[in-house]
Structure 1
Amino acid sequence: MLNNVALDVVIGLVFIFLLYSLFATVVSEIIATALGLRARNLMESVGQMLEDEKDRSKLEKVIDSLRLMKKPDGDFVKKFYQLPEIKKLKNTGFSSLPSVMRSGSFSRAIYQKLFGAGFIDKDSIEAKIMEGGDILSPETKIYVLNLWKDSYGDIEKFKASLEHWFDRTMEQCTEWYKRKIQVVLLILGFVMAWCFNADTIGIIHKLSTDKKAREEMVTMATAYIQNNKNIPITPTNGCDSCDSVSVKSFNQKLDSLLKIKSQLDKDIAKANSLLGSGSWLPDSVMVLKDSATGKRLYIPELDATAALKISKLSNATVNKYYVFSSCDKWHYLFSMFCVHFMGFLITAIAISLGAPFWFDMLNKLIQLRTSVKPDNSNDDNANANNNVSSPKREA
């Protein structure tokens, strides 16, 4: 087994990133499920197809694309969602909006609204498209008309073109959703790093100098990979059929997420016990003095820089307990924000990369650590020399 301090530090750090990424993913999935974000994202995507784009600045477009609770309010998309083919897709759970829509449903809804369910006179199709059936904006009418012309009068090919248009938009829909969730993970990651004191710079220093913590972290990481051959949860796409279709399935998914979250709470608590305290003060602390360095120590462990910003600890007496008020605890929390901002930001960026990224990396690092063996050639040569018998001399 390769005994390399740098590799062990990296394994410990990646394991921490994996735990927090999983935790942030679970929380984001709970939020997405509870608030029906995928259904909103789907409606926004359909609105992009049916509504004309408004004139907006680049900044307005960026801000608008990151709005989580966005719900299109255009007349065309609202009328489209009232069509019988679409209304029957609605959830009976938390969100009444459909969280999944197939290209066939979209094509049938458009086709039936434009032309009805009876016999179709091909000579009147172009006129009916330009009427729009109250669900197509002026620019969309022209686009659909071009799809009809490209079909050369073949109705089945026209329906396939509508379906292909929908599928292309859903690919973009998935990318929009991933971008929004990545922003959510970045925000959640920073809040988690702040609350748990997961400062990347501090973690590296701790693992580099504390051999026991480093070894225990590597042991936890190895055990985790051995017990979890696959990642327990991954972010789902924005337009997949992953939302609940009933109250029962909604509750089942939420219970599953909460169960995973409960296990991650235990893993993170165990990891934090090796790395130090969080960013919230305990009810009381005892002040000691390190005989070797002369620095003050705190039991339970506190961040020295942030602790000294609290008035009662700035001139604390050694071997004495100090009880903290709510004001002291909030002061310490915001002091941690100022002292470790850069480390928290690095952790947040790492978390936003996603749990699958860190799971794969940790798996590769563990395989590297267990597959490479130390060079024992010198010892083998020495043993070989010791085992060689002395030559016999002839008389």
Structure 2
Amino acid sequence: MLSVYVDLALGLVVSFLLLSLLVSGLNEAVVRLLSIRSKFLWAYLRDTLDGSDAQGRSWLPAGVRDVFAALPFQRDPRPRHSGRPAPAQAGELPARAGGSDDALVTLLYQRVREIDHPKRGRTSIADIPPGRFAVAVMELATGAPGGVEGFLARLKEIGSPLHGPLNGVWETAQRDLDRFRQGVETWFDGEMQRLTMLYRRYVRWVVTVLCVGVTLLFTVDGLEHAKTLLRDNAFRASVTAVAEAGPAAYDELKARCTGGDPVSCVTETLSRPALARMLGQAPLSVSIPAEGEPVFAWNGGVWWDRLTTPSHWPGFLLTYVALLFGAPFWWDVLRRLTGIRSRR
């Protein structure tokens, strides 16, 4: 009896894992297609280095709508890609306010563009290691007239928001260049962690919408799927009983496979597990016959009937809540149930 519940748990976990992976894949596809990570990073860098845009607006998105509307399509904060190597000497900042409104972003990109490759004419850099950022700041600071002190004075003159953090790090380092570099690295690492938390907060809403979409697209009723798994287990048990008990147990299978050959019925049933039937509830389904090419079928009417049937709604809610846990959670549950050890 215990094996029945183990089979049920494994079937549900594998199903939720595959659906969660589908949600993660769709989310990653949207993020990569719109270059959200790269734009998020450079929006932060523009706010931190050069301040707001000409209209006084922050470059970082103020809400979920801005992440997937303004950021991808209206205000691209990324610098234009350049295939040239970084110049030997860092450029100079403007001497007074009113100069280039992206002077520091341009200078920073010059120092890190060796790791770049183009994406529709813009940079694709989505992650700058804190150590590399600290080295770039040191190159800009030591190359400026007056060294770090002169660099900080220029930042103050042009009204860069970077002046406050760097000035605090410089004072804390007691004007020691090595400690200053380490301080800049630590500060930028903390800023990247804060930015990651902000990014995940926005993306969590997108994942929530994708979970709803996947659940309703495949009309995955978690409760119905659990019952199907139990029925499949009972059917396999009855087939085994026929093999062991002989013709005396054949009547049960004939009752299940009315109007056809029980052998072909058993073969067809066992070749279509509960997972395949669950994913076959989408508006467009595909079946692979024993011979020939795959056959696509439109199930719009059946899909809509399932979607509008109130008895399925609790199962949809169960599937939706399960997908919110994410693929890592279900993979960990699967490892614990099967004893699979992770390789590190």
* TM-score bin (small chain): 0.5 to 0.7
Structure 1 residue 280 corresponds to structure 2 residue 250: no
Quick one: which amino acid aligns to residue 105 of structure 2? Y
Cα offset for 1:101?
1.2
Cα offset for 1:204?
2.2
Please tell me whether the aligned partners of residues 11 and 365 of structure 1 are also in contact (alpha carbons under 8 angstroms): yes
Taking structure 1 as reference, are residues 165 and 209 closer, same or farther at Cα in structure 2, changes over 3 Å only?
Answer: same
Which residue, out of 106, 127, 139, partners 2:153?
127
Alignment of 1:78-227 (within 5 A): 78-83=102-107, 84-93=110-119, 96-113=123-140, 115=141, 117=143, 120-121=146-147, 124=150, 126-132=152-158, 136-137=160-161, 140-212=162-234
Structure 1 residue 338 corresponds to structure 2 residue 308: yes
CA distance in 2, matches of 1:353, 1:337: 23
Please tell me whether the aligned partners of residues 11 and 229 of structure 2 are also in contact (alpha carbons under 8 angstroms): yes
Taking structure 1 as reference, are residues 331 and 69 closer, same or farther at Cα in structure 2, changes over 3 Å only?
Answer: farther
Taking structure 1 as reference, are residues 274 and 13 closer, same or farther at Cα in structure 2, changes over 3 Å only?
Answer: same
Which residue, out of 331, 334, 343, partners 1:362?
334
What's the TM-score, normalizing by structure 1?
0.54
CA distance in 1, matches of 2:47, 2:180: 20
Cα offset for 1:363?
2.0
Structure 1 residue 44 corresponds to structure 2 residue 43: yes
Please tell me whether the aligned partners of residues 21 and 351 of structure 1 are also in contact (alpha carbons under 8 angstroms): yes
CA shift digits 1:319-371 (9 cap, x unpaired): xxxxxx98xx5454444333334433432332232222111101212349xxx
Please tell me whether the aligned partners of residues 80 and 86 of structure 1 are also in contact (alpha carbons under 8 angstroms): no
Cα offset for 1:168?
0.9
CA distance in 2, matches of 1:76, 1:361: 54
CA distance in 2, matches of 1:270, 1:189: 23
Taking structure 1 as reference, are residues 281 and 106 closer, same or farther at Cα in structure 2, changes over 3 Å only?
Answer: closer
Taking structure 1 as reference, are residues 145 and 271 closer, same or farther at Cα in structure 2, changes over 3 Å only?
Answer: same
CA distance in 2, matches of 1:355, 1:79: 42
Provide the residue aligned with 2:294 in structure 1.
none
CA shift digits 1:222-255 (9 cap, x unpaired): xxxxxxxxxxxxxxxxxxxxxxxxxxxxxxxxxx
Please tell me whether the aligned partners of residues 24 and 189 of structure 1 are also in contact (alpha carbons under 8 angstroms): yes
Quick one: which amino acid aligns to residue 127 of structure 1? A
Alignment of 1:183-332 (within 5 A): 183-212=205-234, 271-275=274-278, 277-280=280-283, 330=300, 332=302
Please tell me whether the aligned partners of residues 103 and 166 of structure 1 are also in contact (alpha carbons under 8 angstroms): yes
Quick one: which amino acid aligns to residue 365 of structure 1? L
What's the TM-score, normalizing by structure 2?
0.61
CA distance in 2, matches of 1:276, 1:87: 45
Please tell me whether the aligned partners of residues 85 and 109 of structure 1 are also in contact (alpha carbons under 8 angstroms): yes
CA distance in 2, matches of 1:77, 1:358: 47
Cα offset for 1:19?
1.3
CA distance in 2, matches of 1:179, 1:15: 27
CA distance in 2, matches of 1:186, 1:123: 48
Please tell me whether the aligned partners of residues 156 and 163 of structure 2 are also in contact (alpha carbons under 8 angstroms): yes
Cα offset for 1:14?
0.9
The count of corresponding residues between Structure 1 and Structure 2 is: 263
Provide the residue aligned with 1:70 in structure 2.
71
CA distance in 1, matches of 2:314, 2:100: 46
Quick one: which amino acid aligns to residue 131 of structure 1? E
Provide the residue aligned with 2:11 in structure 1.
12
CA distance in 2, matches of 1:185, 1:214: 37
Provide the residue aligned with 1:349 in structure 2.
321
CA shift digits 1:46-71 (9 cap, x unpaired): 34533669999xxx955368648736
CA shift digits 1:83-137 (9 cap, x unpaired): 2114444322455331221223323444444x461663566455234124x7x23
Cα offset for 1:212?
4.6
Identity %: 21
Gaps of 5+ in 1: 216-268, 284-324, 369-395
Provide the residue aligned with 1:307 in structure 2.
none
CA shift digits 1:234-289 (9 cap, x unpaired): xxxxxxxxxxxxxxxxxxxxxxxxxxxxxxxxxxx965434474042779xxxxxx
How big is the alpha-carbon RMSD for the aligned residues of Structure 1 and Structure 2?
4.0
Please tell me whether the aligned partners of residues 220 and 316 of structure 2 are also in contact (alpha carbons under 8 angstroms): yes
Cα offset for 1:160?
1.8
